[in-house]
Amino acid sequence: MNQSDNTTSDSPIKSICVFCGSSTGSDPEYTHAARALGALMGKKGITLVYGGSNIGLMRSIADACLQEGGRVIGVMPKGLIEKEVAYTVLKEFHVVDTMSIRKEKMAQLADAFIAMPGGIGTLDEIFEVMSWNQLEIIDKPIALLNTKGYYTHLVQFLDYTVSQKFVRPEHRGNLLVNEDPEALIGALLSFRQQKVSSKWIDDLKADTAGMMK
Protein backbone atom coordinates (compact mmCIF):
# COMPACT_ATOMS: atom_id res chain seq x y z
CA MET A 1 0.00 0.00 0.00
CA ASN A 2 1.32 3.44 -0.83
CA GLN A 3 1.71 5.80 2.12
CA SER A 4 -0.51 8.33 0.33
CA ASP A 5 -3.31 5.76 0.21
CA ASN A 6 -3.35 5.17 3.96
CA THR A 7 -5.82 7.94 4.71
CA THR A 8 -7.32 6.23 7.77
CA SER A 9 -4.21 6.61 9.97
CA ASP A 10 -5.50 9.79 11.64
CA SER A 11 -9.19 9.01 11.30
CA PRO A 12 -11.42 7.08 13.71
CA ILE A 13 -12.97 5.40 10.67
CA LYS A 14 -11.11 2.17 9.93
CA SER A 15 -14.07 0.20 8.59
CA ILE A 16 -17.19 1.09 6.61
CA CYS A 17 -20.35 -0.98 6.30
CA VAL A 18 -21.76 -0.70 2.79
CA PHE A 19 -25.44 -1.41 2.23
CA CYS A 20 -26.32 -2.19 -1.39
CA GLY A 21 -28.52 -4.28 -3.62
CA SER A 22 -28.36 -8.02 -4.24
CA SER A 23 -29.38 -6.99 -7.77
CA THR A 24 -27.19 -5.12 -10.25
CA GLY A 25 -30.05 -2.76 -11.14
CA SER A 26 -31.02 -1.46 -14.55
CA ASP A 27 -27.92 0.61 -15.35
CA PRO A 28 -24.27 -0.52 -15.62
CA GLU A 29 -23.28 2.66 -13.78
CA TYR A 30 -24.47 1.08 -10.53
CA THR A 31 -21.97 -1.75 -10.93
CA HIS A 32 -19.23 0.67 -11.99
CA ALA A 33 -19.86 2.74 -8.86
CA ALA A 34 -19.80 -0.35 -6.63
CA ARG A 35 -16.49 -1.43 -8.10
CA ALA A 36 -15.06 2.08 -7.79
CA LEU A 37 -16.07 2.31 -4.13
CA GLY A 38 -14.74 -1.16 -3.32
CA ALA A 39 -11.42 -0.49 -5.05
CA LEU A 40 -11.06 2.83 -3.28
CA MET A 41 -11.64 1.24 0.12
CA GLY A 42 -9.07 -1.45 -0.65
CA LYS A 43 -6.47 1.10 -1.69
CA LYS A 44 -7.08 3.26 1.38
CA GLY A 45 -6.92 0.33 3.78
CA ILE A 46 -10.54 0.73 4.89
CA THR A 47 -12.17 -2.55 5.85
CA LEU A 48 -15.37 -3.35 3.96
CA VAL A 49 -18.20 -4.77 6.06
CA TYR A 50 -21.16 -5.95 4.00
CA GLY A 51 -23.96 -8.48 3.77
CA GLY A 52 -21.77 -11.34 2.55
CA SER A 53 -23.58 -12.05 -0.72
CA ASN A 54 -22.07 -13.40 -3.95
CA ILE A 55 -24.60 -11.69 -6.22
CA GLY A 56 -25.51 -8.20 -7.42
CA LEU A 57 -23.78 -5.03 -6.32
CA MET A 58 -22.75 -6.81 -3.15
CA ARG A 59 -20.52 -9.16 -5.14
CA SER A 60 -19.10 -6.30 -7.23
CA ILE A 61 -17.97 -4.20 -4.28
CA ALA A 62 -16.47 -7.17 -2.44
CA ASP A 63 -14.51 -8.33 -5.52
CA ALA A 64 -13.15 -4.85 -6.19
CA CYS A 65 -12.00 -4.40 -2.59
CA LEU A 66 -10.33 -7.82 -2.52
CA GLN A 67 -8.56 -7.17 -5.82
CA GLU A 68 -6.89 -4.14 -4.26
CA GLY A 69 -5.71 -6.17 -1.29
CA GLY A 70 -8.47 -4.92 0.99
CA ARG A 71 -10.06 -6.63 3.95
CA VAL A 72 -13.67 -7.76 3.50
CA ILE A 73 -15.98 -9.04 6.25
CA GLY A 74 -19.28 -10.68 5.35
CA VAL A 75 -22.28 -11.04 7.66
CA MET A 76 -25.24 -13.22 6.71
CA PRO A 77 -28.12 -15.03 8.45
CA LYS A 78 -28.38 -18.81 8.15
CA GLY A 79 -31.54 -18.63 6.08
CA LEU A 80 -29.78 -16.82 3.23
CA ILE A 81 -26.77 -19.12 3.36
CA GLU A 82 -29.15 -22.01 2.74
CA LYS A 83 -30.20 -20.26 -0.48
CA GLU A 84 -26.56 -20.52 -1.65
CA VAL A 85 -25.91 -16.79 -1.96
CA ALA A 86 -23.05 -16.62 0.55
CA TYR A 87 -19.68 -15.50 -0.81
CA THR A 88 -17.66 -18.45 0.44
CA VAL A 89 -14.26 -17.14 -0.74
CA LEU A 90 -14.22 -14.60 2.09
CA LYS A 91 -11.76 -15.34 4.88
CA GLU A 92 -13.87 -13.45 7.42
CA PHE A 93 -17.54 -14.39 7.53
CA HIS A 94 -20.02 -14.14 10.39
CA VAL A 95 -23.05 -16.44 10.36
CA VAL A 96 -25.94 -15.09 12.43
CA ASP A 97 -29.46 -16.25 13.24
CA THR A 98 -31.63 -13.41 11.95
CA MET A 99 -31.69 -10.31 9.76
CA SER A 100 -31.97 -8.14 12.88
CA ILE A 101 -28.86 -9.66 14.40
CA ARG A 102 -27.11 -9.21 11.05
CA LYS A 103 -27.72 -5.44 11.20
CA GLU A 104 -26.53 -5.28 14.79
CA LYS A 105 -23.37 -7.25 13.95
CA MET A 106 -22.53 -5.07 10.95
CA ALA A 107 -23.00 -1.97 13.09
CA GLN A 108 -20.63 -3.38 15.71
CA LEU A 109 -17.98 -4.09 13.08
CA ALA A 110 -18.22 -0.73 11.26
CA ASP A 111 -17.17 2.80 12.14
CA ALA A 112 -19.37 4.38 9.44
CA PHE A 113 -21.98 3.46 6.83
CA ILE A 114 -22.49 4.03 3.11
CA ALA A 115 -25.68 3.08 1.28
CA MET A 116 -25.46 2.42 -2.44
CA PRO A 117 -28.51 1.88 -4.63
CA GLY A 118 -30.59 -1.01 -3.38
CA GLY A 119 -34.09 -2.19 -2.60
CA ILE A 120 -36.29 -2.62 0.47
CA GLY A 121 -33.54 -4.24 2.52
CA THR A 122 -31.14 -1.39 1.83
CA LEU A 123 -33.76 1.22 2.72
CA ASP A 124 -34.50 -0.64 5.95
CA GLU A 125 -30.79 -0.60 6.82
CA ILE A 126 -30.45 3.11 6.05
CA PHE A 127 -33.30 4.16 8.29
CA GLU A 128 -32.42 1.79 11.12
CA VAL A 129 -28.93 3.27 11.37
CA MET A 130 -30.32 6.81 11.13
CA SER A 131 -32.73 6.06 13.97
CA TRP A 132 -29.95 4.51 16.10
CA ASN A 133 -27.92 7.69 15.67
CA GLN A 134 -30.93 9.83 16.51
CA LEU A 135 -31.57 7.89 19.71
CA GLU A 136 -27.84 7.95 20.55
CA ILE A 137 -27.60 4.16 20.51
CA ILE A 138 -24.61 4.66 18.22
CA ASP A 139 -22.61 7.67 17.06
CA LYS A 140 -21.46 6.72 13.56
CA PRO A 141 -21.86 8.70 10.32
CA ILE A 142 -23.96 7.47 7.42
CA ALA A 143 -23.83 8.51 3.78
CA LEU A 144 -25.68 7.89 0.54
CA LEU A 145 -23.73 7.21 -2.67
CA ASN A 146 -26.16 8.92 -5.00
CA THR A 147 -25.20 7.16 -8.25
CA LYS A 148 -27.26 8.39 -11.22
CA GLY A 149 -29.38 10.42 -8.78
CA TYR A 150 -30.80 7.22 -7.29
CA TYR A 151 -31.44 8.80 -3.89
CA THR A 152 -32.37 12.31 -5.01
CA HIS A 153 -36.10 11.83 -4.41
CA LEU A 154 -35.45 10.23 -1.03
CA VAL A 155 -33.29 13.18 0.02
CA GLN A 156 -36.02 15.56 -1.11
CA PHE A 157 -38.53 13.64 0.97
CA LEU A 158 -36.27 13.80 4.02
CA ASP A 159 -35.98 17.56 3.54
CA TYR A 160 -39.78 17.66 3.46
CA THR A 161 -39.97 15.73 6.77
CA VAL A 162 -37.77 18.45 8.27
CA SER A 163 -39.99 21.22 6.93
CA GLN A 164 -42.99 19.47 8.48
CA LYS A 165 -41.14 19.19 11.81
CA PHE A 166 -41.12 15.41 12.03
CA VAL A 167 -37.31 15.24 11.68
CA ARG A 168 -34.90 17.64 13.29
CA PRO A 169 -32.53 19.53 10.96
CA GLU A 170 -29.53 18.18 12.87
CA HIS A 171 -30.62 14.57 12.32
CA ARG A 172 -31.17 15.19 8.61
CA GLY A 173 -27.85 17.03 8.41
CA ASN A 174 -26.00 13.97 9.68
CA LEU A 175 -26.81 12.13 6.45
CA LEU A 176 -24.11 12.84 3.88
CA VAL A 177 -24.92 12.64 0.16
CA ASN A 178 -22.58 12.61 -2.84
CA GLU A 179 -22.45 10.88 -6.22
CA ASP A 180 -18.64 10.60 -6.24
CA PRO A 181 -17.18 7.67 -4.22
CA GLU A 182 -13.89 9.39 -3.39
CA ALA A 183 -15.55 12.64 -2.33
CA LEU A 184 -18.02 10.70 -0.19
CA ILE A 185 -15.31 8.76 1.63
CA GLY A 186 -13.38 11.97 2.15
CA ALA A 187 -16.46 13.57 3.68
CA LEU A 188 -16.98 10.59 6.00
CA LEU A 189 -13.37 10.60 7.17
CA SER A 190 -13.57 14.26 8.18
CA PHE A 191 -17.20 14.36 9.35
CA ARG A 192 -18.32 15.20 12.88
CA GLN A 193 -21.90 14.51 13.86
CA GLN A 194 -24.18 17.47 14.51
CA LYS A 195 -25.29 17.19 18.10
CA VAL A 196 -28.83 17.93 19.16
CA SER A 197 -29.59 19.56 22.50
CA SER A 198 -30.32 16.97 25.17
CA LYS A 199 -33.61 18.80 25.67
CA TRP A 200 -35.05 17.77 22.30
CA ILE A 201 -37.23 15.00 23.76
CA ASP A 202 -38.40 17.38 26.52
CA ASP A 203 -39.29 19.88 23.81
CA LEU A 204 -41.38 17.22 22.07
CA LYS A 205 -43.18 16.50 25.32
CA ALA A 206 -43.89 20.20 25.81
CA ASP A 207 -45.18 20.57 22.26
CA THR A 208 -47.48 17.57 22.74
CA ALA A 209 -48.77 18.92 26.04
CA GLY A 210 -49.48 22.25 24.40
CA MET A 211 -51.50 20.59 21.66
CA MET A 212 -53.60 18.72 24.24
CA LYS A 213 -54.81 21.91 25.95
132-149, pLDDT tens digit by residue?
999 889 999 999 999 999
Beta bridge partners of 50: 74
Whether the predicted model's global pTM rises above the 0.75 cut: yes
pLDDT band at 2, cuts 50/70/90? Answer: very low
Q: Is the pLDDT of residue 188 over 90?
A: yes
Q: Cβ(66)–Cβ(126) under 8 Å?
A: no
Q: Is the pLDDT of residue 204 over 70?
A: no
Q: Is the pLDDT of residue 208 over 70?
A: no
Structural domains present in the chain: 3-212 (3.40.50.450)
Distance (Å, whole) CA 183 – CA 107: 23
73-89 per-residue burial string, b: 16 or more CB within 10 A, e: under 16: bbbbbeebeeeebbbee
Residue 93 pLDDT: 97
C-alpha dist (Å) from residue 123 to 19, 72, 175: 9, 22, 13
If you ran DSSP here, which 8-state letter would residue 184 be given? H
Q: Which of 150, 158, 154 is nearest to 179 (CA)?
A: 150
Distance (Å, whole) CA 176 – CA 126: 12
152-187, pLDDT tens digit by residue?
999 999 999 999 999 999 999 999 999 999 999 999
pLDDT band at 11, cuts 50/70/90? Answer: confident
Q: Is the pLDDT of residue 211 over 70?
A: no
Q: Is the pLDDT of residue 84 over 90?
A: no
Q: Cβ(66)–Cβ(28) under 8 Å?
A: no
Q: Is the pLDDT of residue 130 over 70?
A: yes
94-125, pLDDT tens digit by residue?
999 999 999 999 999 999 999 999 999 999 99
Q: Is the pLDDT of residue 206 over 90?
A: no
Residue 118 pLDDT: 97
